[in-house]
Amino acid sequence: MPQRLRSNTPELEDLLDAAVIRYNRADFIAADPISIPHRFTKPQDREIMAFWAATLAWGQRKTIIQSANRLAELMDNAPYDFMLNHMESDRARFESFKHRTFQATDTLWFLEFFQSYYRKNSSLETAFARHLSPEDPTIENALRGFHHDFFDHPYAPERTRKHVATPARGSTCKRLNMFLRWMVRKDDAGVDFGIWQKISPAQLLIPLDVHVERVARQLGLLQRQQTDWKTVLELTENLRAFDPADPVKYDFALFGMGALDAGVQALASWTVGAWRTDR
């Protein structure tokens, strides 16, 4: 029989909790896309810039941060005011913006959605929370509903749909899950903002990137072979065994162990003693 890791053990819980302390800290904000909304104090500014930064969060973190800062500059570093008051002619400055496959068409639709939305609503929280009930175990319905509303217009560009994920297509919804983590979670570390109250941290789902997935598999927290929406549900459910009220607190811990040198060393050290052979 192949070797495998012991999972859901006290030792594993200790490892994860130690990694939370190590990586879920303000020290790591500067090098992470979450640094973008941390530049602002107004809740709406934070929402808008967090959504932009999360949407652009693929590729090198340095490039993500540069692109998000460029968007802030194009909005005169006052995103909420810009959304409420800009004219059609002001959008011309965005036509040269792009980040990997995120092109001008996508940028202009985001501006259209945000302006229309914020002229009727005071917080982006409503766009997600209105699709969710307290009895819902996860934010799945919020993600599905938001995607529908975001493109509920005859002129919504089809190509932009790939940048706003939905569980209906089996996507891991990594970037939206990360955005919601930023908005909903709040702890003493000062990393996440916790400015939304209508969604519970217990309903959040893990933002599944390559580093988180790799470490989760090494630790025996994932058995599903595919990488899709069901994989996200499986990993989050396993993390609930350690903290049912706040399973996504382990996101930065798993990411740190997979992407940062000290974390890789800690993970390697633990796995040496965690392997066992089943015969």
Question: Using one digit for the tens of pLDDT, what is the confidence trace for 98-119?
Answer: 999 999 999 999 999 999 999 9
CA–CA separation, 42 and 47 (whole Å)? 9
Low-confidence ranges of the chain (pLDDT < 70): 1-8, 261-279
Q: How many CB atoms lie within 10 A of CB 220?
A: 17
CA-closest candidate to residue 205, choices 147, 265, 137:
137
Structure token digits, residue 57: 């969060």
CA–CA separation, 201 and 242 (whole Å)? 14
CA–CA separation, 20 and 17 (whole Å)? 5
Q: How many CB atoms lie within 10 A of CB 116?
A: 12
């590729």: which residue's tokens? 59
Q: What does the pLDDT read at residue 239?
A: 96
pTM of the model: 0.91
């800009």: which residue's tokens? 86
CA–CA separation, 239 and 256 (whole Å)? 16
Q: What is the DSSP letter of 265?
A: H
CA–CA separation, 152 and 145 (whole Å)? 10
Contacts of 82 (CB under 8 A, 6+ apart): 75, 76, 90
Q: What does the pLDDT read at residue 9?
A: 78
What are the sequence ranges of the domains in the chain?
Answer: 4-276
With 0-12 / 13-18 / 19 or more C-beta atoms within 10 angstroms meaning exposed / middle / buried, residue 77 is middle
CA-closest candidate to residue 100, choices 154, 155, 55, 59:
59
């009727």: which residue's tokens? 120
E-only strand ranges, the chain: 4-5, 275-276
